[in-house]
Amino acid sequence: MLVLLVVAYEYYHKYIYVFRDPDKIRDIIMSYGKYGISVFLLIQILQVIAFFIPGEIVQVSGGYVYGTVFGSILSIIGITAGSIICYGISRIYGKPLINKIISKRHLKFFDKILQLGSVNSIVFLLYLIPGIPKDVLAYICGISDINLKNFILCSTLGRLPGIVISTYFGSKIYSGNKIELIIIALMMFSLFLVGILKGEKIIVKMVKGSQSGSNK
């Protein structure tokens, strides 16, 4: 574990800049020719496992290289695979590992949220609403009450809109239609801001609404 942490730290400082630039990710993918798809899938898996890597930039790169439809499909496959690995690691090693790699602030936040109601619904909403810190969520779910099948279903469906929007944005980067890109960027930023400021309240309201509806 110590060796892995040291290696991760070294590579983080040397190569994290790559994951902040869609052009650099595209160049890496294209340099592998016919193996580019495999490389892109590995990058997507890596950015989920190493949760400090910004996933949105990788998704944008997928649209940039492969277009909206195929880029979205590849992103979903890679992200789902990475999420399953994180969930499995968490299930095997449990809370002792999670307490070491995830901050107390995130643990406290998700522990509070996941107690609000149906864990399946909560996980879906957490992945759906932009701006909520979901980088570590796959690890948290591994020590929660949600089973693997429901986790895959809820997390994938929740992520789907954000993946498609990011991939579509990437596919339009060099389309020349700057107005469209600005509109998409503003929409994404607005949703992200709402999620940061009101995400928890939105989830609480929706859960309470569904519970009151089911009780009638």
> 36, 44 in Cβ contact below 8 A?
no
Which pLDDT belongs to residue 9? 59
Tell me, what's the pLDDT at 69? 94
> Looking at residue 149, what is its pLDDT?
95
Q: Do 164 and 72 meet the contact criterion of CB atoms below 8 Å apart?
A: yes
- DSSP 8-state code for residue 68: H
Say how many C-beta atoms besides its own lie within 10 A of residue 55's C-beta. 23
- Sign of the CA dihedral 116, 166, 164, 184? positive
Q: What is the DSSP string of 161-207?
A: HHHHHHHHHHHTTTSS-HHHHHHHHHHHHHHHHHHHHHHHHHHHHHH
Domain coordinates in residue numbering, the chain: 2-211
**∠ Cα 90 92 93 (to 5°):** 70
**Per-residue pLDDT at 101:** 82
Q: Could you report the per-residue pLDDT of 33-62, keeping only the tens digit for each? A: 889 999 899 888 888 888 777 778 888 888
The two structure tokens encoding residue 10: 């070294």
The single-letter code of the amino acid at 210 is S
| Rounded CA separation 154/34 (Å) | 32
Sole residue written with tokens 């340099």 = 31
pLDDT along the chain (216 residues), means of 10: 59 58 80 89 87 79 90 94 92 87 83 82 87 81 92 93 89 74 77 69 66 54
